[in-house]
Amino acid sequence: MSDRRCLRLRPLRLRPQLEEALERISAVGGVLLYLRQEGRGIGLYNKLDAYALQDGGLDTYAANSALGLPEDGRDYTAAAQMLTALGIDTLDLLSNNPAKARQLRRLGITVRDRVPTGAFVTESNEAYLWAKVEQTGHDIALTGRPARPARHMLGSRVGV
């Protein structure tokens, strides 16, 4: 797969979650932080290698493990530093990922509440979302089971 195709997929998949986040922030106030962490922190080239394994049937987390990489290598130190610079030491975190809240707490940010986002399930991302629920405990309301493994999906960074 070319880099161009990989980069073209990302905005389309993240758009509904980004729009939801912006609407919620607009309604109640807050900030949106963007952290450049391709493939849950493993980098773009490693993610491309993981895609080849996903094409062979592995889910996104198993593919990372098969490459000797962490399931999720993201570090939220920069997010905690940005929040501190903005004078924010307590927040409600808009995220389906419990690891984000745990890491921010360890970094000195008080997370009052972690507010899940919408699921935005499509045929092409359902298996990927199930992997997130089953492997890392994401709060995503899903029903049924996907017929095939996740393919070509990059990790989400909306919310923090």
The residues that are catalytic are: 72, 74
- Tell me the C-alpha distance between 137 and 92, whole Å: 19
Q: Minimal CA–CA distance to 41: which of 61, 25, 22, 18? A: 61
Inter-residue contact 13 to 154 (CB < 8 Å): yes
Segments in 29-85 forming alpha helices (H): 38-41, 44-55, 60-66, 77-85
